[in-house]
Amino acid sequence: MTRLIVAGGGGGDAVAAAVLDRALRRNAARGDRAVVLAYAWDRLLVDPVPGPRAAADFTGLRALTPNVYAVPEDARPVAPAGSTLPRLAAELPHTFALLDPHHGVEGMVRQLEELIAHLAPASIDLLDVGGDILARGDEPTLRSPLGDALSLAACAQVTAEVRLLVAGPGLDGEIPPALLRERLGAVVHTLTAEDVAPIGPVMEWHPSEATGMLTAAARGVRGLCEVRDAGLTIPLTDDAPVVHEADLDAAFRRNRLAAAIADTTGLAEAERHCRDICGYSEIDYEREKAARSGDTPEGPFRPRVVLDQVARFAERARARGISHTTFRRLTEALGLSGVQRADLRALLIGTQPERYDAPLWRL
């Protein structure tokens, strides 16, 4: 028996899909498997090339259907691109397939229909960590509306029944919690430390902040976490590890961007709609950020200097009521490169292990 899970946003949703599948199918029969259909759309810390990757950006993919490719552990992104999907395939017992939006929503619907016909899955879920998939698509607090709108528009048009799930409401910090609460349905599951234990090693290296907070919350971590380059604050409450069902058709009708891009045949066309409705495209932001980082050469990693910088950052953050932060936030706040993120993490855990509330850093 096969299950299909569509990871609605970035790479963190693919990790969360693997966690939730195991939690919900703990007693599944031997031989049952899940296929996670996910974008290869990682943060610039991992992939210096803005936007999502297409099949042509990889070597070693395995064709599942004419338009859908599995990403096995020996697949490799073509330099200079990067991707977390091959490593996820190596470390998790799921098949990861590439969701490619370069032919617009029409192309994504075609991928979904082919994969559903090929797998005949027992269930199909669309999963989003945080809940920005429930937005109208034009809220000023949104930071990454395009990816979720693309997957929502595609899933709303397939002929099979698709269940929409939201894990960790509010963990992406993009929709006010009060609005989210009225758009969420029944609780499907509350993640526990046992549920997230299998992805502990993955979250040691994976940069997803939302899924990192979801993991920490499932382990019982509570407080106020600072994330992203802008220093957004996210409360880690008892609601943070909860998974809700939501009405997919209502979400699609509500989302202006998803409706506008529903018949697009190219990613550039979808981006134009995103700029018209939202005022920007997150890929434009990635382009601008990549250009800025390219102008700044990587400096040396000096442990003593870095420890002093972290101490000053922590003092200021605690004064703002912050209890935790992510290693991505620390990396960017200290002006370090994506490569140096691993050095920072090793340094801090090695010198102050008592402050590691995996995978977050306690201030």
CA distance 112 to 91: 25
Residue 157 — very low, low, confident or very high, per pLDDT cuts 50/70/90?
very high
Mean residue pLDDT across the chain: 94
pLDDT of residue 30: 58
Q: What percent of the chain has pLDDT over 90?
A: 85
Q: 238 Cβ partners below 8 Å, 6+ apart?
A: 222
Do residues 9 and 144 touch, judged by C-beta distance below 8 A? yes
Listed by start position, the domains of the chain span: 2-191+241-260, 303-362
Q: What share of the chain is helix, strand, coil (3-state, %, to 5)?
A: 45, 20, 40
The CB density around residue 176, as the number of other CB atoms within 10 Å, is 11
Q: Is 62 helix (H, G, I), strand (E, B) or coil?
A: strand
| Residue that has been written with the tokens 């910088």 in this structure | 309
| 294 vs 316: which has the higher pLDDT | 316
Task: Find the angle CA(344)-CA(348)-CA(354) to the nearest 5 degrees.
Answer: 155
- Residue 294: predicted pLDDT: 64
Residue 333 has pLDDT above 80, yes or no: yes
Q: According to the model, what pLDDT value does residue 32 have? A: 75
Residue 344 main-chain phi, psi, to 5 deg: -60, -45
pLDDT number for residue 28:
54
Q: 232 by DSSP, 3-state: which?
A: strand
Angle ∠(103,107,111) on CA atoms, nearest 5: 135
109/101 Cα distance (integer angstroms): 10
Confidence of residue 141 (pLDDT cuts 50, 70, 90): confident
- pLDDT one-digit tens code per residue, 106-121: 999 999 999 999 999 9
pLDDT tens, position by position, 248-287: 999 999 999 999 999 999 999 999 999 999 999 999 999 9
Look at 92-96, 213-217, 296-300, 312-316 and tell me which has the smallest mean pLDDT. 296-300
User: What mean pLDDT comes out for the span 315-340?
Assistant: 94
CA gap 63, 115 in Å, rounded: 11
Q: Are 36 and 18 in contact (CB under 8 A)?
A: yes
Helix, coil or strand: residue 129: strand
143, 43 in Cβ contact below 8 A?
no
What is the rounded average pLDDT of the residues 149-156? 98
* Residue range 7-58, pLDDT digits in tens: 999 889 999 999 999 998 875 555 678 999 999 999 888 999 999 999 999 9
For the chain, the C-alpha Rg in angstroms (whole number) is 19
What span, in angstroms and rounded, lies between the C-alpha atoms of 255 and 153? 9
Measure the CA angle with vertex 30, ends 36 and 86; round to 5°.
30
Can you read off the two tokens belonging to residue 81? 């691109």
Contact predicate 97/70, CB 8 Å = yes
What average pLDDT score do residues 133-158 get?
Answer: 93
Q: E-assigned strands of the chain?
A: 2-7, 33-38, 58-59, 62-65, 68-70, 76-77, 95-98, 123-129, 163-167, 187-190, 223-227, 232-236, 242-246, 324-325, 356-357, 360-362
In the β-sheet with 187-190, what is the strand arrangement from edge to edge?
A: 62-65, 68-70, 95-98, 33-38, 2-7, 123-129, 163-167, 242-246, 187-190
Enter the pTM of the model: 0.95
